[in-house]
C-alpha cells in the first residue's frame, strides 16, 4: 500500500525526521485558512511519479494565484490519477540535495539502505550514483554511518544525516514497510536538513497487525460495502482490457502457466483470479469454497468475459464439492437477469482425485470437464473465438 | 538435510481439521509424525498424534525432532519457528502463507546463526515419492523415479509432476521453496542437493516471474551443476508489476537493472547459460528424455 | 525510578493490558465529579508496599463515605510517605489471582519472567511458588507461554495470560525498566483478566533517552531550581542521620572501603559522596572538577558534619587543580555567614602523582594532606570525636 | 584472551582531550594504540594516532585489531560495540559508564553468539604492569610481580595495588570487571585465567556489596582454583539497598534468597569456602605473604 506524500510526512514528523510546515488542502476553500506564509508550494497528492514534470507542483506567492493553481491541479490527471487532496507546503531553499531510502531486497533477503549525494528525480535509474549497505544482522546505527560515508559525506554532516537514516529504519521496521524513501533530503546553506519529498510503501500482508494502518487502508479503499473478496484491490489481476477470457485457478504459478498457454494458443485473457491453494489458516479470510464461488461470481459479473477456464489441481476440496459450488454459481447466473442462460461458458480442467470424484456431477451440469491441460486450453480458445467480445 | 523415511516429524499448529486432511495424508504415506503442538490443546490426541502446549514438552515426550512443519496462522509463524529453533530443531518447513516479509528477515538471521534450514514460507514442502511426505504435496500426482523437481509454486509443481508421471518419468524428490519474496531456501541450495543425490538423474527447475532467483540459478547451473537441468518459467504473458498472489515482485531487487524479475530476463538467462527451456508443461518430459540421452 | 500505581496503570492501558476504569483524585473535591459507579476502591498512591495492611485501601459505596475515607487516606503516612494523589477505581470480583513480573536479573544477566498461580501480597517471599523463565535469547512469545505452563495453567487460559506477559515484556524493553509487576492479575468467573495492582521501576540511567519519562522524572523530583549535582536524589548516600563525618571520594568501591575503615575506627559517618572516577564523557553532566566543588559545598552546607575526609586516587585532575578547587570552597565557607572560619574541617588523602604535585598548595591552605589511608582515617576519627555533633 | 604487549589496539570515541590524557598514558606505557574512531573526526590525527569515521575504515588502514577500548558516551556504547563485533574484533573493553543495563543484555547476547570477550562497562580495563595498559588504570600504583588482582572497582583497585606495591608484592595483572549490575565478564572467568597464568602466584579478589558474583566466586574458588586467593569486600558498613554510584544492587537477584548481595552474605560465603578475607586494604599484603608461604 503506497502512502500519499502528506501521509508519509506525518509519519516522518512523528518519527522525528524534519519536514516543512505544511497543510492538507481538501478543497479550494481551505486555502483561505492557510497558516503558512507565502510563498508556498502546492503539490498534487497522487501516487504516481513524475508529478513535477506533469505540472502537479506549483509555487505561488499569494492567495489569488494559489486558488488558480489549486483549481488547475485538482483537475489535472497524472497518469490517469486525479488528486483528492493537495499539500500546501512552505518553500525551502536547498543548497544540496541527497537521496535516502530503505528498501526490502529479495536478492540479499535483507533490508538495504540506499543513498546518493545527488538527490533528485532520476537517482533510482542511475545505479552508479546509488550507494548501498545491506543490513546483514540486526540494525544498529553504524549501518547508517556506513552508508553516509559511502555517499561521500564528511565531517559534521555524518552524524545528522545518519540519524535520519536511523529514524527511517526504525519507521521501516515499526510499520512493516517495503520502502521508505526521502528524495530529496534538502541541505540548506547553514547545514539544516529537511525531508522535501517522501515515499512510503507498507507491506500489504502486515497491514492487519497495525491498527492505525488498517484504518488508513480501509479509508483509502473506501470498501465498507465490499462483500466479494475479489472486489478488493490486488486480489484480481487484469491482463488485457479487450480480452474475453477469464482464468481461475488455485495457485499463482498454475494461473500464470495457464495464462501463458491460453495466450500462446491465440486466446485473449481479460482477468486472472488466483483463489489460492490449500485450506485457509486465517479464519478472517473466506474459505477455499467461498473463494471459488466468489471468484466465479466476480468473473460472471464482467459481461465482456465470454469463457472462463477453471484450472484446479490437488485442492483440499473434493471434486464433488467444487462441482456443487459451480452449479450454485451457474444457477445464479441463469436467472432472467442475464440474457444467456449460462453466461459465461465455463470449462473445467481437473486432474487427480478431483476428476474422478466429480465426473458424474459435471455431466449433469453440462459443463465440460477435461483432464488434459493443453486440451482444456484449446477448447477455451475455440469457444472464446466463436463468442466475439461485446462492446461495452 | 535429513530426509530419511523414519526421521521424526513435528506438526506445529496442529488442529483436528488440519490433522484430518494433511496429517492423515502424511501418516498414510508413512511419514513418522510423532507429535503436534498447539498452545491450549495440550493433552489432546488427533489421529493418534499426541498434542502438546510447547515444543519443548513435545521433545521431552518423544525425543529429538528432525523436522517441524509449521501450519500456524501468518502472524504466529515467526514465534513458532523461533520456538522450534530454541528447542534445537534444525529443519523447518513453513506451510503457512501470508507471513510478513520482515518477520522472515528476522527468522533468517536466527536460522543462519544456528545453521537451521528453512523451507518456505508458503510452501507445500517436500515429497520423496513412495517414501516421505513433509507438507501438503498431493501424492496422486507423483511416482517414484529419478527426476528432481525444484519449484516456487505448489499446484504448478503438481502439474509438472503429473506431466512427468504421464510420460513415465518418476521423481526422486520434489520441493517447493515457496512463492514469497523472501524465501528460506534457494534454488541454488536445492540444485546442489539434487546434483549430489544419487537417486536423481535430471533436474527440472520451475520458475516464475518476480525476483532474481532464476537468473542466479541459471548462472549457477552453468558453473557448477553436472546433471542435466530443464527449466520452465511461468508468467511470460503476465503484465509486469503485478504480484499474482505471490510477492516475488513486491520486494525490490536492488542495483541489478530495471529488467530483472521479468519472465523475459529469466528466459534470457537460461538461454545464455545453455539450459533448455520448455515452452509449456507438456513439453518438459521430452526435453528431459532428450537431455538424459545426450549425457 | 518507581512509578505510582496510577502511572503504571496508564502505561498498562496504552500497552493493551486490561485495567479497571479509574480516576485520579488530587483533592477531595475531585470525588464529586466521579464517573465510575459505586462501589469504588480508594487507594493511597505511595511507593512503599503493605498499603492495604496499613489502611491505605478502602472500599466505599457512596460519596459521603468516599469523602471521609479520602480525608483519612490523604493524611495517613505509610512508612513515612504521605500520598499526594489517590486512585479511585471500580471494584472487581476476582475468582482467582495470579502474580506476573518481568525483572532484570544480575545473576543470569538476562530479563527473567516470573509468575505464580497464587497472586497476592507475599508471593515474592515464597520462592517455591514463584516460577521463572530466563529470556536467554531475544524475546519471542514462546518464552511467555513457557512461564504460563510452568505456573500450571491449562487450556483456554494459556493464550490470554501469555499475551499479557508478552505485553509486559514489550513495555519492559520499550521503557528500559528494571521491573514490571502485576500483582494480582485477577481472573473473573467468566475468565476475564484484569491487572488489579501494578508496579513499574524505570532504570535510572535510561531515563534521559525517553522524552516522556524525563518529563515524569522532572515533575516527580520537582527539582527545577536544583543547581548542585548532589541535591539530586540518589547522587548522595545518607549513612547515619546522627553521624558527624562526611566522606568524599572518587569511585564507589573506594568510598565504601573508606566508610568501612572510618566506622571500624569508631567514627560515625553521616553522608558519603562518590564524585566518580575519571573524566566525564557526557557533556550534560558536571565535570570532575565541578563535581568535586559541588560535593564539598554540599557537605559544607550540612552543619552537623564536622569533618570531611576527601580520598582521591588516580584522578584525571592534577593534585594542583584539586587543591585549587578545595581552596575555592574553603574560602566560600570562611565568609562571615559561617561562625567557624574553616567549617567543616577537611582532611585530604592523596597518593601517587596527586600527592607530589599538591603538597605545596595544601601546606599553604592549612589542610592536612596524608598519603597513608589508615593514618588519614585515624586523624579523621580523632578530629570528629573532639568536635561533638551539634543539635539541629 | 590475547594480552601480548604488541597486540593492536583501537580507541573508539577518541577525542583530542581523551587522547591527551588516556591516549598518551597508554602510548607511554608501550601499548600499541594503532588507530582511533570517531564519526565526523575521520582524517584527523591525535598524538600520531590516525582517526577514522568507521571501524571498518580503521581496519582497512591498519589491519586486524586485537582489542578495542570504548570511550563513547553512555547511549552510544551498544552501537560502538556492535560495530566492533561486526568488523571482527573479539576483545572489547568498555570504559564508559552509565550504559543502560538492557543495552548490555542486548550486547551480551551478540557477544556470546560471536565468542567476543567484553570487559566492563564502567571499567578501567586491564593493566599488565610494565608491559601493557588497556584502559585508564594509573600506572603509578602498579609494579611488575606475581599477584593477580580482579576487582569490580577502579580507584579501589589502585588502593589495593598501592598496598601490595608498598609491601614489595608486584602484580602480574590487574583487571576490573566493572561495577555495573550487568557486567561483560565475571570473577569466574578471571579466576580461571589467573589460575592458568604462569606469571601469577596468588590472586586478590576485590568485591563489594550488591549482586551475587562474590558468592559465586567463593564457591568456584573452593571447587576449582589451586592458587592462593585472598578476598577483600568493601561496603560492610554501608546501609543496604543503596547503589553507591554502582548499580550492582539495582537489578534483582532472582530466587536466591533475600540476603544475597549484602557484604555479610559475601563474607559468609568466603568464610565457608575457607578463603582468607582481609579486614582492610592494608591487611591484604600480609595475608598474601602468609598464603604464599603455606603453599
Q: Give the neighbor-by-neighbor strand order of the sheet with B125-128.
A: B132-135, B125-128, B171-176, B144-151, B202-208, B229-234, B277-278
pLDDT in tens, chain D (295 residues): 899 999 999 999 999 999 999 999 999 999 999 999 999 999 999 999 999 999 999 999 999 999 999 999 999 999 999 999 999 999 999 999 999 999 999 999 999 999 999 999 999 999 999 999 999 999 999 999 999 999 999 999 999 999 999 999 999 999 999 988 899 999 999 999 999 999 999 999 999 988 888 999 999 999 999 999 999 999 999 886 554 444 433 445 554 455 567 888 899 999 999 999 999 999 999 999 999 997 5
pLDDT band (50, 70, 90) for residue A276: confident
Domain B9-119 in CATH 3.40.50.720? The answer is: yes
CA–CA dist A362, A369 (Å, integer): 7
Distance CA A61, CA A266 (A): 58
Per-residue pLDDT of C91-106, as tens digits, reads 999 999 999 999 998 8
Q: What is the dihedral of CA D208, D211, D215, D218, to 10 degrees?
A: -50
pLDDT score for B248: 38
Task: Extract the C-alpha cell encoding A136.
Answer: 546483514
- Residue pLDDT, tens place only, B1-34: 899 999 999 999 999 999 999 999 999 999 999 9
Q: E strand or H helix at C245, and its extent?
A: strand C245-249
D42 to chain A, any CB pair closer than 8 A? The answer is: yes
For C207, the closest chain D residue by CA position comes to D100
B141, pLDDT greater than 60? yes
Q: What's the mean pLDDT in C162-174?
A: 98
Provide the CA A321 distance to its chain's centre, in angstroms.
33
Q: What is the pLDDT of residues C110-160, one digit of tens each?
A: 999 999 998 876 665 666 678 999 999 999 999 999 999 999 999 999 999
Task: Indicate the domain borders of chain C.
Answer: 21-90, 96-209, 225-386
The pLDDT value given to residue B187? 96
Map out the domains of chain B as residue ranges.
9-119, 138-294
Decide if pLDDT at B225 tops 90: yes
Q: How many CB atoms lie within 10 A of CB C5?
A: 23
Assess whether pLDDT exceeds 70 at residue C388.
no
Q: What is the mean pLDDT of chain B?
A: 92
According to DSSP, the β-strands at B202-208 and B229-234 are parallel
Q: Could you tell me if B62 lies within 8 Å of chain A, comparing CB atoms? A: no
Secondary structure of chain A as H, E, C letters? CECCHHHHHHHHHHHCCCCCCEEEECCHHHHHHCCCCCCEEEEECCCCCCCCCCCCEEEECCHHHHHHHHHHHHCCCECCECCCCEEEEECCCCCEEEEEEEEEECCCCEEEEEEECCCCCCHHHCHHHCEEEECCCCCCHHHHHHHHHHCCCCHHHHHHHHHHHHHHHHHHHHCCEEEEEEEEEEECCCCCEEECCEEEEECHHHHHHCHHHHHHHHHHHCCCCCCCHHHCCCCEEECCCCCCEEEEECCHHHHHHHHHHHHHCCCCEEEEEECCCCCCCCCCCCCHHHHHHHHHHHHHHCCCCCEEEEEEECCCCCHHHHHHHHHHHHHHCCCCCCCCCCCCEEEEEEECHHHHHHHHHHHHHCCCEECCHHHHHHHHHHHHHHCCCCCC
Question: In which residue are the cell numbers 573532639 written?
Answer: C386
Domain B138-294: CATH superfamily is Succinyl-CoA synthetase domains (3.40.50.261)
Query: Which residues 27-46 of C are in CB contact (within 8 Å) with B?
Result: none
d(CA D210, CA D122): 15
User: In Å, how far are A205, A217, B249 from B245, measured between CA atoms?
Assistant: 11, 19, 10
Domain A21-90 listed as CATH 3.30.1490.20? yes
| pLDDT band per the 50, 70, 90 thresholds, residue B186 | very high
CB-based contact A176 B183, cutoff 8 Å = no
Residue C79, SS3 per DSSP: coil
C-alpha torsion angle, residues B79, B83, B88, B91 (rounded to 10): -40
A126 to chain D, any CB pair closer than 8 A? The answer is no
Res C320: pLDDT = 79
**Using a CB-CB distance cutoff of 8 angstroms, which residues of chain D are in contact with residue C252?**
153, 179, 208, 244-246
Position A218 scores a pLDDT of 83
3-state secondary structure chain D: CCCCCCCCEEEECCCHHHHHHHHHHHHHCCCCEEEEECCCCCCCEECCEEEECCHHHHHHHHCCCCEEEECCCHHHHHHHHHHHHHCCCCEEEECCCCCCHHHHHHHHHHHHHCCCEEECCCCCEEEECCCEEEECCCHHHCCEEEEEEEECCCHHHHHHHHHHHHCCCCEEEEEECCCCCCCCCCHHHHHHHHHHCCCCCEEEEEEECCCCHHHHHHHHHHHHCCCCEEEEEECCCCCCCCCCCCCCCCCECCCCCCCCCCHHHHHHHHHHCCCCEECCHHHHHHHHHHHHHHC
Closest CA to A100 of A194, A205, A230: A194
Write down the pLDDT at residue C124: 59
Query: Is D246 in the active site?
Result: yes
* Alpha-carbon gap, residue D110 to C105, rounded angstroms: 18
Query: Chain B contact for A272, CB < 8 A?
Result: yes
Beta strand C236-238 pairing with C269-274: antiparallel
Q: Provide CB contacts within 8 A for C136, sequence distance 6+.
A: B86, C110
The dihedral formed by the CA atoms of C47, C53, C57 and C63, expressed in degrees to the nearest 10: -150
Dihedral, CA of residue B63, residue B66, residue B67 and residue B72, to nearest 10: 20
Rounded average pLDDT over A41-59: 89
CB distance B254–A105 less than 8 Å?
A: yes
* Neighbour tally for C211: CB within 10 Å: 8
pTM for the model stands at 0.92
**Can you give the pLDDT at residue C289?**
85
Kind plus residue range of the DSSP H or E element containing B281:
none
**pLDDT reading at B242 higher than 60:** no
Count of C-beta atoms within a 10 Å radius of residue C241 = 9
Instruction: Note the pLDDT tens digit of each residue in C104-123.
Output: 988 889 999 999 998 876 66
Nearest to D237 among C107, C259, C282 (CB): C259
How far does A18 lie from chain B, in Å, by closest CA? 26
D53 reaches A (C-beta below 8 A)? yes
Nearest CA in chain A to D54: A146
Question: For B153, which DSSP code?
Answer: -
Look at residues A285, A217, A179, A250 and name the one whose alpha carbon lies nearest to residue B244. A250
**Which of B53, B80, B82 is closest, CB to CB, to C149?**
B53
The three-class DSSP label of residue B282 is helix
Short-list D291, A194, D238, B58, CA closest to C256:
D238
pLDDT tens track for C285-297: 788 888 888 899 8
Count the Cβ atoms, other than its own, within 10 Å of residue D113.
14
User: What sections of chain B are H helices per DSSP?
Assistant: 16-18, 24-28, 55-62, 77-86, 101-113, 155-166, 187-196, 213-224, 263-272, 284-294
pLDDT, position C277: 73
Nearest Cα of chain D lies from the Cα of C97 at a distance, in angstroms, of 21
Q: Mind telling me how many Å the CA of A314 is from chain B's nearest CA?
A: 6
pLDDT at A150 over 90: yes
Closest Cα of chain A to D15: distance in Å? Answer: 14
The SS3 assignment for C47 reads coil
Task: Name chain C contacts of D74, Cβ cutoff 8 Å.
Answer: 205, 281-282
Q: Which residues on B lie below 8 Å from A375 (Cβ)?
A: none
* CATH assignment, A96-209: 3.30.470.20
Count Cβ–Cβ pairs < 8 Å, chain B vs chain C.
35
Is C214 at the interface with chain D, CB within 8 A? no
ipTM of the modeled complex: 0.92
Query: How close does chain D come to A146, measured CA to CA in Å?
Result: 7
Q: Give the whole-angstrom CA distance, residue D285 versus residue D164.
A: 6
Give the span between the Cα atoms of C163 and C12, in whole angstroms. 13
Tell me: pLDDT of A225 over 80. Answer: no
Residue A234 contacts B where some CB pair is shorter than 8 Å: yes
Residues with Cβ < 8 Å from B143, sequence gap 6 or more?
B129, B130, B165, B170, B171
**Residues in chain B within 8 Å Cβ distance of C110:** none
Kindly identify which residue of chain C lies nearest to residue B84, measuring between CA atoms.
C142
Residue C387 pLDDT > 90, yes or no? no
What pLDDT does residue D250 have?
Answer: 42
Summarised one tens digit per residue, pLDDT across range C28-49 is 999 998 999 999 999 999 987 7
Range picked from A216-225, C299-308, D3-12 for highest mean pLDDT: D3-12
Nearest CA in chain D to A152: D53
B138/A281 touch (CB, cutoff 8 Å), yes or no: no
Q: Which residue of A has its CA nearest to D76?
A: A141
Cβ of D245 and C353 within 8 Å? no
Digit-coded pLDDT (tens) for B243-257: 444 443 344 555 445
Written as nine digits, the cell of C129 is: 511458588
Is B60 at the interface with chain C, CB within 8 A? no
DSSP state of B252: B
**CA A272 to centroid of chain Cα atoms:** 16
Q: How confident is the model at residue C355, as a pLDDT?
A: 84
**Statement: residue C366 has pLDDT above 90:** no
Report the pLDDT averaged over residues A112-118: 93
- The residue among D127, D136, D206 whose CA lies nearest residue D173 is D127
* pLDDT single digits (tens) C182-230: 999 999 999 999 999 999 999 988 999 999 999 998 887 764 445 667 7
Q: What is the pLDDT of residue A230?
A: 73
pLDDT score, position B245: 46
Class for the domain spanning A225-386: alpha beta
Residue-level pLDDT at C338: 46
Interval C330-358: pLDDT, tens:
766 654 444 445 678 999 999 988 888 88
Q: So what's the pLDDT on residue A347?
A: 94
Identify the band that residue A391 occupies on the pLDDT scale cut at 50, 70 and 90: very low
Q: Cβ contacts (< 8 Å) between C249 and chain D: which residues?
A: 155
Q: Tell me, what's the pLDDT at B179? A: 86
A156 to D40: CB separation less than 8 angstroms, yes or no? yes
Amino acid at each position: 500500500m503506497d502512502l500519499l506524500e502528506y501521509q508519509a510526512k506525518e509519519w516522518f514528523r512523528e518519527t522525528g525526521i524534519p519536514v516543512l510546515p505544511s497543510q492538507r488542502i481538501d478543497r479550494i476553500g481551505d486555502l483561505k485558512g492557510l497558516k503558512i506564509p507565502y510563498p508556498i508550494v502546492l503539490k498534487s497528492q497522487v501516487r504516481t511519479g513524475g508529478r513535477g514534470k506533469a505540472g502537479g507542483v506549483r509555487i505561488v506567492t499569494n492567495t489569488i494565484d494559489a486558488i488558480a493553481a489549486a483549481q488547475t491541479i485538482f483537475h489535472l490527471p497524472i497518469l490517469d490519477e486525479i488528486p483528492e487532496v493537495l499539500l500546501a507546503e512552505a518553500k525551502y531553499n536547498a543548497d544540496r540535495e541527497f537521496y535516502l531510502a530503505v528498501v526490502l531486497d529479495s536478492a540479499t533477503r535483507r533490508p538495504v539502505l540506499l543513498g546518493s549525494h545527488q538527490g533528485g528525480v532520476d537517482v533510482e535509474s542511475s545505479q552508479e550514483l546509488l550507494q548501498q549497505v545491506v543490513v546483514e544482522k540486526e540494525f544498529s546505527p553504524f549501518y547508517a554511518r556506513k552508508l553516509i560515508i559511502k555517499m561521500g559525506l564528511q565531517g559534521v554532516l555524518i552524524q545528522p544525516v545518519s540519524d535520519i537514516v536511523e529514524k527511517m529504519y526504525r519507521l521501516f521496521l515499526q510499520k512493516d514497510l517495503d520502502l521508505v524513501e526521502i528524495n530529496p533530503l534538502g541541505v540548506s546553506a547553514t547545514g539544516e536538513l529537511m525531508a522535501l519529498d517522501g515515499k512510503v510503501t507498507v507491506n500489504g500482508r502486515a497491514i492487519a497487525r497495525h491498527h492505525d494502518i488498517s484504518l488508513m487502508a480501509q479509508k483509502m479503499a473506501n470498501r465498507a460495502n465490499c462483500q466479494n473478496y475479489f472486489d478488493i484491490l490486488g486480489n484480481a489481476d487484469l491482463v488485457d482490457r479487450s480480452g474475453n477470457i477469464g482464468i481461475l485457478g488455485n495457485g499463482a504459478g498454475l494461473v500464470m502457466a495457464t495464462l501463458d498457454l491460453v495466450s500462446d494458443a491465440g486466446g485473449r485473457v481479460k482477468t486472472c483470479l488466483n483463489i489460492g491453494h490449500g485450506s485457509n489458516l486465517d479464519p478472517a479470510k473466506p474459505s477455499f469454497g467461498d473463494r471459488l464461488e466468489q471468484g466465479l461470481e466476480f468473473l460472471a459479473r464482467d459481461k465482456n468475459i465470454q469463457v472462463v477456464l477453471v484450472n484446479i489441481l490437488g485442492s483440499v476440496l473434493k471434486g464433488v464439492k467444487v462441482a456443487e459450488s459451480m452449479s450454485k454459481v451457474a444457477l445464479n447466473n441463469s436467472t432472467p437477469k442475464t440474457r444467456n442462460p449460462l453466461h459465461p461458458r465455463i470449462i473445467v480442467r481437473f486432474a487427480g482425485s478431483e476428476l474422478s470424484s466429480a465426473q458424474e456431477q459435471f455431466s449433469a451440469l453440462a459443463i465440460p470437464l477435461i483432464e488434459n491441460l493443453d486440451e482444456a486450453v484449446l477448447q477455451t480458445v475455440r469457444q472464446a473465438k466463436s463468442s466475439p467480445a461485446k462492446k461495452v | 538435510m535429513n530426509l530419511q523415511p523414519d526421521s521424526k516429524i513435528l506438526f506445529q499448529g496442529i488442529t483436528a481439521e488440519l490433522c484430518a486432511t494433511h496429517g492423515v495424508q502424511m501418516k498414510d504415506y508413512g511419514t513418522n509424525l510423532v507429535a503436534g503442538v498447539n498452545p491450549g490443546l495440550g493433552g489432546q490426541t488427533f489421529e493418534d498424534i499426541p498434542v502438546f502446549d510447547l515444543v519443548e514438552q513435545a521433545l521431552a515426550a518423544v525425543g529429538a525432532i528432525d523436522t517441524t512443519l509449521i501450519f500456524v496462522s501468518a502472524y504466529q509463524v515467526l514465534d513458532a519457528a523461533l520456538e522450534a529453533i530454541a528447542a534445537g530443531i534444525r529443519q523447518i518447513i513453513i506451510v503457512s502463507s501470508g507471513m510478513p516479509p520482515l518477520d522472515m528477515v528476522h527468522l533468517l538471521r536466527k536460522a543462519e546463526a544456528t545453521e537451521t534450514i528453512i523451507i518456505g514460507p508458503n510452501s507445500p514442502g517436500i515429497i520423496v515419492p513412495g517414501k516421505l511426505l513433509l507438507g501438503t504435496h498431493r501424492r496422486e500426482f507423483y511416482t517414484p523415479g529419478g527426476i528432481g523437481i525444484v519449484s516456487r509454486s505448489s499446484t504448478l509443481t503438481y502439474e509438472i509432476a503429473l506431466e512427468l508421471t504421464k510420460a513415465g518419468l518418476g521423481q526422486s524428490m520434489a520441493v517447493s521453496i515457496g512463492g514469497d519474496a523472501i524465501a528460506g531456501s534457494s534454488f541454488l541450495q536445492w540444485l546442489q542437493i539434487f546434483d549430489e543425490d544419487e537417486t536423481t538423474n535430471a533436474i527440472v527447475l520451475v520458475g516464475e516471474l518476480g525476483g532474481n532467483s532464476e537468473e542466479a540459478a541459471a548462472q549457477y547451473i552453468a558453473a557448477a551443476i553436472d546433471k542435466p537441468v530443464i527449466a520452465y518459467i511461468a508468467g511470460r504473458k503476465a503484465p509486469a508489476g503485478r504480484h499474482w498472489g505471490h510477492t516475488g515482485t513486491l520486494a525490490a531487487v536492488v542495483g541489478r537493472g530495471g529488467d530483472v524479475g521479468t519472465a523475459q530476463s529469466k528466459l534470457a538467462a537460461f538461454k545464455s547459460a545453455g539450459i533448455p527451456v520448455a515452452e509449456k508443461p507438456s513439453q518438459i518430459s521430452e526435453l528431459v528424455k532428450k537431455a538424459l540421452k545426450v549425457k
